[in-house]
Chains A and B, each alone.
Chain A
């Protein structure tokens, strides 16, 4: 059965794609999953794969030409099949309809075809349904707006004053079951004391393998939070920013980095890697900052997915270190280096540069002492990092020379209030000035 290959949606903001290079020519055999062409999107150059087996019968757009999403760009079929009907329909495309047949908004799968054959597996559809609009994975696809809950779980939640909307169901279709309420009840005490307890979370057996965005819970806005949001949104742009600056003594952090690289020069840990690690540890201690403002809820993330601003020739991009709180310094160093290299080569996949929970922008290498950064929505905060420089400071009534660094955090006031942000920076500074906290 011959099928049309349509321009796929390869990035969340893509509206059209430019055909950079055909990797197959007319008459070539193609099989499912094989790269068919390279497409330039607004963000990156990406490979598109064939979704069916057959022969590339007809190429409909040339290299260098652009096509809107959903427009047929090629036809794949059997070698001797009659494709005149498909050719005709390709020449009179209905863009909206064709676009609807392509992958949903959020899907990151790098290819799409308008399906002709009903018996092909619907794997892409299934994969797409588990991902919500902002590209984050939910624990379960919810059943519309209805909260599914087992009768006993509903009773137990009511008896213990737990709002069902704060729970993630672990049963079929996200049904909240007894176990979920029991966990919420036993977890209640834990949330009350988040202080300096677990800086470096215990790593359970084996290495954390984290490629997926962090899970989260949505908490309904309180009346006060709603008012704060309503009032502040009228302040500075659509996101009410405020800024907090602090100066950090970087002697010990610099020592730590130097010692690590002496032990193993291959590690190549940078001061920015240390900052990422410390920021992640601090976010876990201050979950109110690891949050984003949603329409009717404040979303709190379980892990720190840290977006790192990278300047490239074509502009700014923010690759994300997933669950940096679970990763070691060396893992962060390797991953960051690898992501930055690919960012500069425009080879990042959309899921690698979207859906962070917190951003870090470092202009220290440009000699900037301090600056303010603009929040990367929907994140609740961004940290602007200045250069680390030796400065005279007062220690024990003596003027001494210390490596210092100034950081400025921009906070979304709808989520993070001043004191919350200040407490975050306090912990951040404390750990960075005494990096041994990372190991207690």
Chain B
């Protein structure tokens, strides 16, 4: 297996799927000539031509709608948002058309489209450009939401998303594009949507983390192991459909759970997971499920405040100790 950055693993997935199916095409701002604002689409214009790798104007609502129309007509578009902060402009198309078309057409129109791009916090891009929007999209029936935390997961999940017949929101983490990891080179390597991954096995507490929080949860688990607490780290990978069974099984084993997330706490994905745990594993809990979320404020610009607004290893360690009554 090759050591690849998250960026190159995503590029490989795009490249392989563009090659595999001629109905797949890619569009977005700066994806072609400039090769992507984060260079995820590097070399794709050269390899697949301007008909399949298309630069769009700065009109998110417009090109999102265009993509949905193309999907209804039988193509498999991949729409890149330069960041998911800009997807906010396209939400009418995503929510009202992409998510509902299959239902409203009585099953006549599948929408096999992927909306992808970076989300969450970056480095000092302030309130309007540091948002974790996954709970918005996960809220609507009809959308799938995927958030990888390793290069291999990124590749396998993106390929599955492109092959999926439903609209998929694929959120990459802006800080993680340079993260390296082993990535299978097999062109048929995919990871099914809706299957969580146990990133680390443990017996005394479960940490549920996604995206940027996964490496932080693993560091916290290392620290906690030194303190004599064995933690299991679970990455759901797909927010919707959510693999609650894997989570419940882990909670039944450990009896204690901490949910880490970069997003704001109110109405977050963590809130949903905590509620489902309460419904499905109540009898196994030794302490209430504890969420460790981003600060409930717009992301500050100041470097020190930005650091405080994102959960870190220390907060996770403290939360696990709290649910362990230590």
Instruction: Give me the interface of A with B, judged by CB distance under 8 Å.
Output: 150-153, 155, 170-172, 177-179
**Segment at the A interface, from B108-116, B126-134, B262-270, B284-292:** B284-292
Main secondary structure of the interface of A (DSSP, over half): helix
**Given B282, B284, B285, B325, which contacts A179 in the complex, CB threshold below 8 Å?**
B325
Q: Report the bound CA distance from A170 to B282 in whole Å.
A: 20
Whether B283 is near chain A, meaning CB under 8 Å from some CB there, is: yes
Ordered nearest first, which 4 A-B pairs have the shortest CB separation?
A178-B286, A150-B286, A152-B255, A152-B286
Q: Which B271-294 residues have C-beta < 8 A from chain A?
A: 282-287
Closest B residue by C-beta to A172? B325
**Given B255, B282, B284, B325, which contacts A171 in the complex, CB threshold below 8 Å?**
B325
CB neighbours of A177 from chain B (8 A) = 286-287, 325
8 further A-B contacts with Cβ under 8 Å, apart from A151-B286, A152-B284, are: A150-B286, A150-B287, A151-B283, A151-B284, A153-B286, A155-B284, A170-B325, A178-B255
Question: Is there contact, CB below 8 Å, between B325 and A151?
Answer: no
Q: What are 22 A-B pairs with beta-carbon distances under 8 A? A: A150-B255, A150-B285, A150-B286, A151-B282, A151-B283, A151-B285, A151-B286, A152-B255, A152-B284, A152-B285, A152-B286, A155-B283, A155-B284, A170-B325, A171-B287, A171-B325, A172-B325, A177-B286, A177-B287, A177-B325, A178-B286, A179-B325
Tally of chain B residues near chain A (CB < 8 A): 8
Q: Which B282-326 residues have C-beta < 8 A from chain A?
A: 282-287, 325
Q: Report the bound CA distance from A149 to B64 in whole Å.
A: 52
CB neighbours of A153 from chain B (8 A) = 286
CB neighbours of A178 from chain B (8 A) = 255, 286
Q: Report the bound CA distance from A344 to B286 in whole Å.
A: 52
Q: Which B52-102 residues have C-beta < 8 A from chain A?
A: none
CB neighbours of B283 from chain A (8 A) = 151-152, 155
CB neighbours of B282 from chain A (8 A) = 151
Q: Report the bound CA distance from A155 to B286 in whole Å.
A: 10
Closest Cβ of chain B: how far from A49's Cβ, in Å? 36
CB neighbours of B284 from chain A (8 A) = 151-152, 155
Closest A residue by C-beta to B284? A152
Closest Cβ of chain A: how far from B253's Cβ, in Å? 11
CB neighbours of A179 from chain B (8 A) = 325
Closest Cβ of chain A: how far from B262's Cβ, in Å? 28
CB neighbours of B325 from chain A (8 A) = 170-172, 177, 179
CB neighbours of A172 from chain B (8 A) = 325
CB neighbours of B285 from chain A (8 A) = 150-152
Most chain B Cβ neighbours within 10 Å, of A152, A170, A177: A152
CB neighbours of A155 from chain B (8 A) = 283-284
Closest Cβ of chain A: how far from B205's Cβ, in Å? 12
Closest B residue by C-beta to A150? B286
Closest Cβ of chain B: how far from A52's Cβ, in Å? 36
Q: Report the bound CA distance from A291 to B285 in whole Å.
A: 35
Q: Report the bound CA distance from A152 to B282 in whole Å.
A: 8
Q: Report the bound CA distance from A150 to B282 in whole Å.
A: 9
CB neighbours of A171 from chain B (8 A) = 287, 325
Closest A residue by C-beta to B326? A179
Q: Report the bound CA distance from A172 to B285 in whole Å.
A: 15
Bitwise, B222-258 to A at CB < 8 A (1) or not (0) is 0000000000000000000000000000000001000
Closest A residue by C-beta to B204? A178
Q: Report the bound CA distance from A151 to B257 in whole Å.
A: 14
Most chain A Cβ neighbours within 10 Å, of B282, B284, B285, B287: B287
Q: Report the bound CA distance from A179 to B284 in whole Å.
A: 13
CB neighbours of A150 from chain B (8 A) = 255, 285-287
Closest Cβ of chain A: how far from B32's Cβ, in Å? 56
Q: Report the bound CA distance from A177 to B287 in whole Å.
A: 8
Q: Report the bound CA distance from A338 to B47 in whole Å.
A: 94
Q: Report the bound CA distance from A150 to B323 in whole Å.
A: 11
Q: Report the bound CA distance from A273 to B287 in whole Å.
A: 48
Closest Cβ of chain A: how far from B169's Cβ, in Å? 35
Closest Cβ of chain B: how far from A156's Cβ, in Å? 9
Closest Cβ of chain A: how far from B85's Cβ, in Å? 40
CB neighbours of A151 from chain B (8 A) = 282-286
CB neighbours of B287 from chain A (8 A) = 150, 171, 177
Q: Report the bound CA distance from A297 to B286 in whole Å.
A: 28
Q: Report the bound CA distance from A153 to B285 in whole Å.
A: 8
Q: Report the bound CA distance from A154 to B287 in whole Å.
A: 12
Closest B residue by C-beta to A178? B286
Q: Report the bound CA distance from A152 to B252 in whole Å.
A: 9
Closest B residue by C-beta to A181? B286
Q: Report the bound CA distance from A43 to B287 in whole Å.
A: 47
Closest B residue by C-beta to A176? B286
CB neighbours of B286 from chain A (8 A) = 150-153, 177-178
CB neighbours of A152 from chain B (8 A) = 255, 283-286
Closest Cβ of chain B: how far from A146's Cβ, in Å? 17
